Amino acid sequence: MKLVLCSASPRRREFLERIGVGFSLAPAHIDETQRPGEAAVAYALRMAREKAESCARPGQVVLAADTIVVVGEDVLGKPRDRSDAERMLRMLSGGEHRVITAVCVPPRACAVETTVKFAPLTDAQVRWLAASGDGDDKAGAYAVQGLAGAFVERIDGSFTNVVGLPLAETLQMLAEAGVELPWT
C-alpha cells in the first residue's frame, strides 16, 4: 500500500527514511489555530486528523502528525520570531513540560505524551539558543536532538515523540493499515 506523509517536517521524513519505509510527500496546508477552550490533546488530535483528511487520496495510506509543547495550560507552537523563541525558552527554563504528538493514519489516531525537564537557563543561554535558529520551526522553540538537548535534564517517555514522531505507535498503525515495513 502506498504511503503519503502529510508533513513538511524534515525530522519525520528522516525517521521514515532511516527505517526504510517508502513514502511520498504531500505537506498539509491547514489553519492550525487552537480553538478557544480546546484542550491540548484534543487540539493536537484535531490537527493530525485535519492534516490527514487534507491529504487523503483513494488507494493511499496517509500519515499525518502534529506536535505541541504544553507548559501548564499554555500550548506552545512554533515561534513567530526570535523574541517569541526567547519567551518560550524562558517558559521552559528550570521546569517540566509535556510534549504531545498526535499521529493519524485514518481511521486511527492517537496522542503520545512525554514529559521533559529543562535545566534552568541563564539569559545568555536563552538568547544564544534563540539566536542559533535551531528551534525556529519547532514547537516550543527547541529541538531535543539539537543544541537545546544540552539543557534537557530528563525525558520521561518516548524520545522520538519529543523529536516529532512517536515511532513505536506510528509503525504499529502503519502495519495495521497495510503499509509494507522493511522487516515484513
Give 128-143 pLDDT, tens digit per residue.
Answer: 999 999 999 899 999 9
Q: What are the grid coordinates assigned to 114, written together?
A: 512525554
**Given 66, 84, 136, 156, which residue is catalytic?**
66
Q: Give the SS3 label for residue 148.
A: helix
Confidence of residue 144 (pLDDT cuts 50, 70, 90): very high
CATH fold of 2-176 reads Maf protein (3.90.950)
Q: Where are the domains of the chain?
A: 2-176
Which residue in 18, 44, 183 sits closest to 104, CA to CA? 44
137 is catalytic: no
Which residue in 6, 58, 3 sits closest to 30, CA to CA? 6
Per-residue model confidence as pLDDT tens digits over 31-79: 999 999 999 999 999 999 999 999 998 999 999 999 999 999 899 999 9
pTM reported for the whole predicted model: 0.94
